[in-house]
Amino acid sequence: MNTIFKEKNETMHIGHNIKRIREIQGIKQEAFGQLCRNRYSQQRISDFENMVALDEPLLEELAAALGVTPEFVKSFKDEHVIYNIQHNNNSTFSDNSIGLNAQPTFNNDGSDKLVALLEKFIEEDRVKTQSIAELSKAVLDLTNEVKKMKEGK
C-alpha cells in the first residue's frame, strides 16, 4: 500500500513535537530537564511541552538535549513515524522514506559521557571481582589450615 501524506494547514505545535520525540526516546521529563544545558525542572519541561512556539535558542537547547536538530523538531510528525515503523522494519531516523524535510543529527556529547561512565563501572566491577576472588582464596586457604590443625590434634 502506497501512502502519501497530505500536509494540513494547522499550526505547528513545537512543544508537542518536543514531547513526542522525548516520549519515543523513553526519557522522563525530569531526566530530560537534567540533560539540558540549563538543567530545567520537570515542571519547566512540562511548561515548554505545552507551548505552541519556543524561541530559537531554547529550541536549539532542547533539541540538542534530545540529540536531534531544531529542524527535525519543527518538521516532526507522528504520522511519519508510524508510517516508517509499519513499512520499514530496518529503518532508522536517517531513512528518507518517511518524507521529512530535515533529518536528525545526533550529538555525541551524551554518548561520550555514557561510554566513559560505563567504562568506569566496568573497571570498578573488575576491581570488585578481583577482590572477591582474592577473599575467596584466602577463605579457602584458612579452611585448609583449620583442617590441617584439626587433623594434627
CA-angle at 46, arms to 44 and 52, nearest 5°:
105
Residue 18 has pLDDT above 70, yes or no: yes
pLDDT of residue 15: 95
CB 104 within 8 A of CB 91: no
pLDDT of residue 79: 75
Cα dist from 84 to 22, 28, 93, 113, 136, whole Å: 18, 24, 9, 30, 54
Taking only the tens place, the pLDDT of each residue in 51-110 is 999 999 999 999 999 999 999 999 888 777 776 666 765 444 444 444 444 455 555 556
Per-residue DSSP letter, 108: S
What does the alpha-carbon distance between residue 95 and residue 134 come to, in Å, rounded to a whole number?
A: 52
pLDDT-based confidence at residue 42 (cuts at 50, 70, 90): very high
Residue 45 has pLDDT above 70, yes or no: yes
**How many CB atoms neighbour CB 17 within 10 A?**
23
Cα dist from 141 to 35, 134, 138, 147, whole Å: 50, 10, 5, 10
Question: What pTM was computed for the model?
Answer: 0.50
